[in-house]
Chain A
Amino acid sequence: MASQEEPVAGPAQPIAPIQVLYCGVCTFPVEYCEFGSHLKKCKEWLQKEHPDLYEKYYSEEALQAKLGTLSLEAQTKLEKDTAKKEEKAEAKAEAALKKKMASRVTIKRIERNKRKHVTAIHGLEAFGVDLKKAAKFFAQKFATGASVTKNTQGFDEIVVQGDVSGDIVEMIEDQVGLLKGVPKDNVVEVEEKKKGGGGA
């Protein structure tokens, strides 16, 4: 924890920065966790990581001292609000996770010209993949062009030149480097042919 000494502005002495301890759960400075939306988790984290500080902020005396500065009514209201917020945040996190698990990665093979294809991969960003980096990675891996473009629906997708759909599915199954964390069950392969039977 930071020392509380008043920084003295010496003439030629750079003043050392104060290191503030940030909560590992909500990223707030630990004293502000109580205003965050996952107080319970923050408390657990602090108790585990810095038990001495936990005592400082959440012991009986500390809570009593806080009560003194605010009317009881306002305090209960605040507590209620916090609990409500916490609940909301939890529900939100759960919904986000559910949505994430339900979202699909679509690998689309698009025919360009009879035997030439491009492969469009859509939905990777839901699993925390950096699209730009992934595109670069594909370009390097397959020695072709790969770029991040907006498709007609306005979503970002990676377009790789050449038919590499099979390889990409394999890579996701093997959880290669960047593609870690993409569950293979969520991968869908689609094929898109040119209209008019391939233009014979």
Chain B
Amino acid sequence: MFKKFSPSSDVSGQTSLKSSVQRSIRTSLLSQWKVESETVEQIWPKKESLTLVKCRDHISIYTFHGEPLFFQHFDGPFYPTLRLLHKYPFLLPMVRIDRGAIRFLLAGAHMMCPGLTSAGGYLPPADAAMPAGTPVAIYAEGKEHAVGIGITKLDTEEMKKVNKDVGVETVTYIGDDLWALQTL
């Protein structure tokens, strides 16, 4: 989503949000992420307002003091930015890819099922299976921090069964243009 993104041409406008909209964002963050309200309060204090940065293709990035915190495509789920995820790694459920897949991920490719199901990869066990369309943090074998953020294309159980084609669609990854963008 952010493989090519330049603020000068892709941003169409910045506005600060109405407080009612902010309230609804806060509640949806709390329901979508595995996070306590106190932590959200720490990331984004109630008193301070968010800025909505509208971008091409219906991407909205929400910034706080100029720093992108999370983003959203259309009315879809909220994704934290990678820097935020590094600070609070528990925000999203995790999957892990094997070592061979890292360099493809860092080139912006979507994650194929075999990379997730192999020995170096990790998918949640059957009793914690995730449905398709769940935002996930993508970790890498032997690494400590998340390398990307994606959205599941298949049920995690289905991934194990089919073991072919795209399992997790990459949304943002280390080194893409959103990563390069430290302030907006």
Contacts and interface: CB of A to CB of B under 8 A. Distances in A.
B36 A20 contact: no
B26 to A, nearest CB: 15
B175 A28 contact: yes
B58 interface: no
A28 B174 contact: yes
Contacts of B98: 69
A70 interface: yes
Nearest to A37: B175
Given A20-B87, A32-B147, A69 B38 contact: no
A89 to B, nearest CB: 12
A9 B30 CA distance: 14
B111 to A, nearest CB: 15
B92 to A, nearest CB: 13
A9 B141 contact: no
Interface in B130-148: 141-145, 147
Given A4-B144, A11-B36, A69-B98, 15 more contacts: A7-B89, A9-B36, A9-B90, A18-B86, A18-B89, A20-B145, A27-B175, A29-B145, A31-B145, A32-B174, A35-B106, A36-B175, A69-B141, A69-B142, A74-B100
A17 interface: yes
Q: What's the dominant secondary structure at chain A's contact region?
A: loop
Interface string A1-30: 010100101011111011110000011110
B179 interface: yes
Interface residues of B, number: 27
Contacts of A81: 103
Nearest to B179: A27
A66 interface: yes
A78 interface: yes
Interface string B166-184: 0000000011000110000
A14 B86 contact: no
Q: Which 3 A-B pairs have the closest CB atoms?
A: A17-B87, A14-B38, A14-B42
Contacts of B180: 27
A12 B38 CA distance: 6
A4 B142 CA distance: 14
Given A17-B88, A18-B89, A28-B174, A78 B103 contact: yes
A4 B145 CA distance: 10
Contacts of A2: 144
Contacts of A14: 36, 38-39, 41-42
| Most chain A Cβ neighbours within 10 Å, of B42, B120, B144, B179 | B144
